[in-house]
Amino acid sequence: MRVWLVFALMFLTACQPSGVDSSKPTSEGIPEQTAQSNDGSALGLRAGTQAFARAVARVEPVAERMCVRSTKGLNCDFKILLDDNPRKPPNAFQTLERSGRPVIMFTASLLARAHNDDEIAFVLGHEAAHHIKNHLARQRTNAIAGAVLLGNLATLTGAGAIGVQTAQELGAAVGARSYSKDFELEADRLGTVITARAGYDPVLGSKFFTRIPDPGDRFLGTHPPNADRVKAVRDTAAKL
């Protein structure tokens, strides 16, 4: 069934990234020296990469402990990678290896554009939260449900094989997006907790949202408005 091709395209990963040594975590909640641009400008690649290494060392053990405590049967051994290709656009995402091990990927350009350690730590906490909340599996389930629903409707209306296939692909795409905004806000809230427990300021980290394009509230959009995300972070942080 061609609908599986749609699922595969949804979960493609980057190729041949370079790893970051995260073998020296610090104590949970204990702040240490961090980088922050004095004039409000981007850190640049060198300082951003150094900030990334610090964030990995502090955020990863917190995320793994939280994952172990709050899930059952989920692989909590995070692999955090840096794609150092400078031509790749700013991005960070979470995916899975075939073994089920969670992978978090950052691009070098995202690190270069960050303004401080807190922003990098927050993005890392957000991506870890996606895995802890099992969003990929839930998204896949929604995609399958959408494919089955529209495929059956197309069959009942007398559509041919191509029509049914097209309906399945459309259903998969719609199903995968149906709760994506909720997933993002859920990851923002849990990511706030992870970031704070690692000793960073999630509210300061969420200012990253103020410098990226605002998706607004588009129909079938994958991300909520930036203002909603900042509010989710502030509301969560206020309760900590």
Residue 170 lies in a domain: no
Residues facing residue 107 across a β-bridge:
83
In the block, tokens 């922003």 appear at 119
Closest listed residue to residue 130, CA positions, set 176, 188, 173: 188
Residue 209 lies in a domain: yes
Residue 46 lies in a domain: yes
List all residues 6 or more positions away from 97 whose beta carbon is below 8 Å from its beta carbon.
79, 103
Distance CA 192, CA 234 (A): 9
**pLDDT exceeds 80 at position 7:** no
Residue 222 lies in a domain: yes
What's the pLDDT score for residue 15?
35
Residue 101 lies in a domain: yes
Ramachandran category for residue 29: left, alpha or beta (phi over 0 → left; psi -120 to 50 → alpha): left
> Quick check: helix, strand or coil at residue 214?
coil
What's the pLDDT score for residue 17?
32
Residue 72 lies in a domain: yes
What's the pLDDT score for residue 55?
97
Residue 12's φ and ψ, nearest 5 degrees, are -65, 145
Distances (CA, A) of 116 to 40, 53, 172, 198: 9, 13, 38, 15
**pLDDT exceeds 80 at position 233:** yes
- pLDDT tens per residue across span 164-185: 677 566 655 654 555 577 888 9
Task: Give the DSSP H/E element, type plus range, for residue 105.
Answer: strand 102-107
Q: Which domain holds residue 104?
A: 3-137+176-239
Per-residue pLDDT band at 190 (split at 50, 70, 90):
very high
Contact in structure between 51 and 111 (CB atoms under 8 Å):
yes
Lookup: tokens for 133: 């909340």
Residue 115 lies in a domain: yes
Residue 147 lies in a domain: no
User: How many distinct structural domains can be found in the chain?
Assistant: 1
- pLDDT tens per residue across span 13-68: 333 333 333 333 333 333 344 545 544 688 999 999 999 999 999 999 999 999 99
Max alpha carbon distance in the chain (Å)?
66
Count of helices and strands (H, E) across the chain: 9, 4
Distance CA 20, CA 159 (A): 51
